[in-house]
Amino acid sequence: MADQFDWKLPPLDAEDQRLVEAYRTVGRPVDDLAYTPEFDRLVHLLGIEDTLDSRHFLYRRLLNLQSRGRLPRVYRLVEQ
């Protein structure tokens, strides 16, 4: 049994990498992203079809990347 682990993650495919970069540009956490102008901006940045099905798929993809630890943490400052 090996006593050393290789914790390197395989690189994201081009489509997921593009999604991560657009998500970073939008700068709003996934948990707070749905039904916001920032989500509309994300759809626009990615150039995907603006339908309910494509929006659902996009949000589901973000949640999947987040659960796998592949989405960077984005913090939103609360305005007072």
5 DSSP assignment: -
Q: Per-residue pLDDT for 68 more than 60? A: yes
The model carries a pTM of 0.82
**Domain boundaries defined on the chain:** 14-67
24-51 mean pLDDT: 95
Confidence of residue 75 (pLDDT cuts 50, 70, 90): confident
Mean of pLDDT values over 39-47: 96
DSSP string over 44-75: HHHT---SHHHHHHHHHHHHHHHHTT-SPP--
Question: Confidence band (pLDDT; 50, 70, 90) for 77?
Answer: low
SS3 31: helix
